[in-house]
Amino acid sequence: MDVKIDNIDGLYVIHSNGRLDASNASALDEKMRDILSQNPDKIVVSLKGLEYVSSAGLRVFLTAAKEMKKTSGKLAFAEPSEAVFKVLKMSGLDTILKIYNTMDEAVKSLQH
């Protein structure tokens, strides 16, 4: 899995691709913690390039959401593939996380 992070006027956008599983979830978790340590107001996680997410990856997402809530920051997830959305839905995280079909929808949701 590759991870790319952009900071666009204070909005962090995290792009990842490949498979997010137990073998590499800690790397994403570490990058997320680095960003969270800067107390960002807004983060969008693009799921567009992810082919697969395991429970280890879901924990990273949930941990980030909890940390953002503590600081009143806003976190959104965008562009999940059908397979990734299916895992999010089966785990019930689709009711906890803010997931949008497009990057534009996710960014707009953070502006309110």
Q: What is the mean pLDDT of residues 29-47?
A: 95
- Using pLDDT thresholds of 50, 70 and 90, give the confidence band for residue 9: confident
Whether the pLDDT of residue 112 is over 80: the answer is no
- Residue 10 pLDDT > 90: no
| Reported pTM | 0.94
In percent, the amount of the chain with pLDDT more than 70 equals 100
Domains annotated for the chain, with CATH where assigned, are 2-110 (3.30.750.24)
End-to-end CA, the chain: 32
Mean pLDDT of all residues in 3-31: 94
Q: What are the tens digits of pLDDT across the range 67-80?
A: 999 999 999 999 99
Strands (E) across the chain are located at 2-8, 11-20, 42-53, 74-78, 99-100
